Structure 1
Amino acid sequence: MPRVNSNVWQPEYDDLWPKPEDEWLLRAALSSEPDFAEHFLTWRNEASYANYDEIDYTTCRILPMVLKQFVRAGRDDQWLPKMKALHRYHWVTTKSKQRHLVTLIDAFDHAGIPTLVLKGNALIAGEYFDDAGERPLHDLDVLIRPEDEPVAAECLRSMNWTDLGDGPHAEFHARVWQAEDGVQLDLHRKLLPPPYSYIGLNALLPSSRKAVLSGMEVRVPNATHLLMHCLVHGRLCWGSVKHPFLWVADAMRILQRSPDEIDWERLKSDAQRFSILFDVRESLGYLRSRFDAPIPSDWLNELSDIPISRKEMLPFFRWTNGHEIHSLLELKDFMYADFLCHQQMQNQTPTTPRFIRYACQRFHRLATSDAGRRRLGFLGTKLRYEGLLASIRRPDYFQTAIDS
């Protein structure tokens, strides 16, 4: 990564970052200067949005921040009435989801389950946004200990929540639950999806802080860990649901409103310990260059001198731009990283026989589900291993291996 004090910082992989026209919208939402309105107009021209009705889903989640800029400055714009209606809509839906969340947290507390509120609700509770309408929510996110999941599941079922599962990764990332009115909860067993390293509740809870959400006291990550989560998890692309620049707004709000609360040395040590230094370094370098984020330049330059292995970079590319697996070696690396996560959660020592058994079980689950067969079909096209793919799609082959 180039030194951040260079005149122009150019990321090595342009397709991983917000487009130039999206940056104008972000500047309109985040700028503390009076030229935010000019940034907003430039964005509309660059993105060719002549009418409000043409905007996409991601933009709808940023516009409430732009609205706040106009209101604070006492400025007017032809989009203002519709942005106010959008803000009101987000406020109502977010408040409705928060009522579900506080009910769940209260039930978990009575069941003796410690929790940590993540992502959007953590940002709102931490007062990084002015109100519930300024930071729309997609779903609810709560982190618990893996051993507490059976009790948590009973609590959810008693309140008529439905377990939607989460495919092959459900057992060690998050399970999706849905309320009767359609609100969804991601019940996390770890902070990040595979093949990222295991980061559990016990690693974050001791340094977490109390906050108030919809009148109830909850625990949220401290500013350092909240920023770390935004820089990594916030950038992930889940299938067709891609929010290529929402993470910028979240991370910048943390940096703008609590710069003195960021423990930079703790962030560096945790990023190294959890093997996410590449994600943190690249994302912060981008924010420092494009949005003049209050990040110490010397600290960023220290990160650029730390060697990072190719294996540590793989999760970043897998989740941020739909990186395709081009070799069996990469497939093995991804699978082994998943296996290490699983062993950490089970408090077991990784061994070769356990890895072989785990790999067989994973392939069996993939081969017996529709989503898994689609993934394997895509992978088979890329690898050109027709014979291997044929054996993968025979569930009896893997069941025999597992039974033996």
Structure 2
Amino acid sequence: MRRPGLDGSCWPGPVTEEVLRAALLPPDEARAAWTRVRGDIDLRDDAMADRSRLLPLVLHTIGAEAAGDDAPTMKRLHREAFRDNTLHLHHAPSWLDPLQQGRVAVMLLKGLPLALHAYPDLGRRPMSDVDVLVPSPDIARAVDLLVRDGWVCGEANPLPRSWRARHSVPLVHPEGGHIDLHHVPGVPFMGRTEGRASVPEIWAGQRPSELVGRAIALPAPEDLLLNVIVHGVTSIPGWSSRWVADAVVLLRTQSVDWDRLVEHARRHRVVLPVRSALRYLVDEFDAPVPADALWALWAAVASAGDRRRFDLLTGPADDGPMGIGAIRRARWVRLRTAVGPGRAVLATPRFTADLLRVDRTRHVPAAVVRRGRRWAGSRLTPSRTSP
């Protein structure tokens, strides 16, 4: 939904916002927010899927007594998240060892660095996979190393043959493990390269760390914050309320280089989502963002094209002919914005092949014909109604 004074239409609705308040405000205010919202939600409803990921943090904030009859459910969700995240750590050597043995640099993104170093404990930040970043020149070799070690593509699409139109690929292992392997943090960051290395600033600012006894890199707090905001606000097929919790928890626990964040937001043309997101976090959750940083972001010039693209990315996901609706158009807009019109034209065949889920670009015409026939048939076939 839209909010006065903020760009885009990706902001949490009233019910989700109350759940976020219950997770992020001081305990007394959080308990009051939970009391207000509890009558409006059903913890068993499928519509709670996104909000339910916040419930382990809600329990930590308001306490079991205030949770009342919901405490057992919240504790179960906390235990399940702790179990799943522990399994992510258990499976980490199966992807980390092949990459390190192949001399591929590895950095963690998004959820796992936050769960390990920002949240109160490993179970307060549920994760479905582990986001892993490798340098752009090494992405094809990294995929090959993992495939040879038993990893397979985790989606219906074939493994990419070109990375012009892809920023990541999901991989799963038959014996357990699920990662999203990136060569850039997200599509908006694809276009900036130096010597073939995309987003060199994130590698330049890396922080050394350790994962299951192995050396690994973490992004600097400002790079992690930028990634959390941009991914959360502009992700496809829509936004997730979890980015709000991630950003607030990170801001409260990590020291951010604000000049560097502002510089990177300008460089990657993501000023609109970043400044609106930070303004929202300050207004609603009293996030510790310095006024100078907000002023610098709101003083930055955003072109009319940037505004149109941001509105499209955060707008409703309607569908169009042959299934090429707003979600697919948004993918194209993000790619074109990131790599520029010329490189986007070169990437069109691979982009279309990925969109239509075919292995080779020469299969695109036949796939278009099949998709067109199915779409036309669905429009011509009269719908059946129950007597």
TM-score scaled by length of structure 1: 0.75
Q: 2:242 aligned with 1:246, yes or no?
A: yes
CA contact (8 A) 2:208 2:217 kept: yes
Gap change, CA 1:157 and 1:143, over 3 Å in 2: same
Match of 1:149 among 139, 150, 157: 139
Deviation at 1:276, TM superposition (A): 1.0
Match of 2:43 among 27, 33, 52: 52
Equivalent position amino acid for 1:155 in 2: L
Match of 2:218 among 211, 214, 220: 220
2:247 partner amino acid: A
Contact 1:67 1:83 in 2 (8 A): yes
Query: 1:20 aligns to what?
Result: 14
Q: 1:74 Cα deviation (Å)?
A: 6.2
Select the residue among 39, 57, 70 that pairs with 2:62: 70
Letter in 2 for 1:255: L
Equivalent position to 1:188, from 144, 168, 182: 182
2:187–2:335 CA contact under 8 A, matched in 1 = no
- CA displacement, residues 208-260 of structure 1 (integer Å, 9 cap, x when unaligned): 11234445442111111111111101223433xx45311000000011112xx
SS at match of 2:89: helix
Cα distance in 2 for residues equivalent to 1:113 and 1:332: 30
Deviation at 1:31, TM superposition (A): 1.2
Superposition RMSD in Å? 3.5
**TM alignment of 1:285-296, pairs within 5 A:** 285-296=279-290
Q: Which residue of 1 aligns with 2:123?
A: 133
Question: Is 1:107 matched with 2:105?
Answer: no
Asked if structure 1 preserves the Cα contact closer than 8 Å seen for 2:168 and 2:183, the reply is yes
Matches within 5 A, 1:349-388: 356-359=345-348, 362-363=351-352, 368=363, 373=368
Whether the 8 Å contact between 2:28 and 2:62 is mirrored in structure 1 is no
Residue in 2 that maps onto 1:310: 304
- Cα 1:357–1:208 shift into 2, 3 Å: closer
Q: Does 1:233 align with 2:200?
A: no
Q: Residues 107 and 155 of structure 1 are in contact (CA less than 8 Å); yes or no, is this contact kept in structure 2?
A: yes
Deviation at 1:339, TM superposition (A): 4.4
Distance in 2 (alpha carbons) for counterparts of 1:201 and 1:332:
20
Q: Is the 8 A contact 1:197 1:275 kept in 2?
A: no
Query: Which string of whole-angstrom CA distances, capped at 9 and with x for unpartnered residues, describes residues 101-123 of structure 1?
Result: 24322321221110110111011
Instruction: Indicate if the aligned counterparts of 1:311 and 1:333 stay in contact, CA closer than 8 A.
Output: no
Provide structure 2 residue ranges, at least 5 long, that are not aligned to the other structure.
Answer: 319-324, 357-362, 377-387
Question: 2:92, 2:212 within 8 Å by CA — same for their partners in 1?
Answer: no
State the match for 1:255 in structure 2.
251
Question: 145-154 or 331-340: which moved more?
Answer: 331-340
Per-residue deviation at 1:155? 2.4
Residues 169 and 224 of structure 1: CA distance in aligned 2, closer, same or farther (over 3 Å)? farther
1:179-231 Cα offsets, whole Å, 9 max, x none, are: 11564221101111258644735321221112344454421111111111111
Change (3 A) 1:364 1:222: closer
Corresponding residue of 2:384? none
Contact 1:210 1:220 in 2 (8 A): yes
CA distance in 2, matches of 1:81, 1:231: 32
Contact in 2 for aligned 1:28/1:66 (Cα 8 Å)? yes
Deviations 1:351-391 (CA, angstroms, capped at 9, x unpaired): x6x76554456456656469x859x97xx99xxxxxxxxxx
Query: How many Å separate the matches in 2 of 1:164 and 1:360?
Result: 22
| Contact 1:227 1:251 (C-alpha < 8 Å) held by counterparts | yes
Where does residue 397 of structure 1 map in the other structure? none
Q: What is the DSSP-based 3-state SS (H/G/I as helix, E as strand, rest coil) of the residue aligned with 1:98?
A: helix
Equivalenced residues, count = 349
| Residue pair 1:58, 1:243 contacting (<8 A) in 2 also | no
Deviation at 1:133, TM superposition (A): 0.9
Amino acid paired to 1:135: R
Partner Cα distance (2:147, 2:282) in 1: 45
Alignment match, 2:360: none
Tell me the SS of whatever aligns to 1:281.
Answer: helix
TM-score by length of 2: 0.78
Partner of 1:300: 294
Letter in 1 for 2:96: I
Structure 1 residue 38: deviation in Å? Answer: 1.6
Amino acid at match of 1:308: A
Equivalent residue, structure 1, for 2:322:
none
Tell me if the contact between 2:171 and 2:179 (Cα under 8 Å) persists in the aligned partners.
Answer: yes
Distance 1:335 1:131, change over 3 A: closer
Give 1:345's aligned residue.
none
Task: Tell me if 1:204 matches 2:202.
Answer: yes
Instruction: Give the C-alpha shift of residue 28 in structure 1.
Output: 0.8
Q: Identity over aligned residues, as a percent?
A: 25
Residues 312-346 of structure 1 show CA distances to partners (whole Å, capped at 9, x for unaligned) of 334533433357789xx999966643544xxxxxx
Judged with a 3 Å threshold, the aligned counterparts in structure 2 of structure 1 residues 44 and 373 are, in CA distance, closer, same or farther, namely: farther
